[in-house]
Structures are given as structure tokens and as C-alpha cells.
A = this chain, B = another copy of it.
């Protein structure tokens, strides 16, 4: 009996969008106010999905307390109150767009959660904009 469970967490971070191979003018043109060299920031909301078989003895797919702790240690503690561009090496050469942060969180959690579970990530940058990986 396959089922999905979902858990939400959040972190607050600063970022800017910038491509080092482009002129300042092209960066401003493409990224607009997101290119501000002094950074801006967001309250990011992340939702983690696990899909798999229910454990008949517990009625659980996965212990939600354990999932909460995995997300806290590997996502919240890593990104909360950070500058994604300056404090996080994974975004040194990669733009910390919502798309790339979401993809990165998928990779981080994929390494922490048993392969018998499918996982999926949604990431809200504002209440009106969010991304999902995988589709």
C-alpha cells in the first residue's frame, strides 16, 4: 500500500542573482532588482515528500519526528539566517535561484533518506512563487 507523506519547514536567507560571465548591464537587464549587489532576502518555505509502503506495525510511512530532525539538521541549520551566495559553497558558481535551491535540497535529502522511498521537494520563495523538483 503506497502512500505519500509531506512535511514543511522554513528558513530565512539572503541572496542575489548574478552571472559572473556577464556584464553588469546584462545582469541588471536579466535579473532586475534581484541583482542588487547588496543582496535581498526571503522567508523560504520547504515541503518534503516521501513516497513508499506503509509499515503495518506502526501505520507509519516514516517517523515524522525523524523526518523533521533530518530536515532540521541538513536543511534548516545549513541555510537558516545565511547569505546563500557568500556562506554556502554550493552556490559559489551556481545562481541561488529558487529552482537551484530546490534542486540542491533534493540532492542533500536524497543522500540522507533510504532509497526505498521516493522523495520530492517544493520550495516557496514568496507566497505567490514556488518551484518543484522532480516534476
Contacts and interface: CB of A to CB of B under 8 A. Distances in A.
Interface of A: 1-10, 12-15, 17, 19, 21-22, 30-34, 36, 38-43, 51, 54, 57-61, 63-65, 80-83, 86-87, 94-100, 102-103, 126-135
Binding site of A, secondary structure by majority: helix, strand, loop or mixed?
mixed
Say how many copies of this protein the assembly contains.
6
Contacts of A5: 98-99, 129-132
Nearest to A6: B130
B7 A64 contact: no
Nearest to A77: B33
A135 to B, nearest CB: 5
B127 A59 contact: no
A126 B80 CA distance: 13
Nearest to A22: B57
Contacts of A10: 126
Contact of A40 (B51, B81, B135): B81
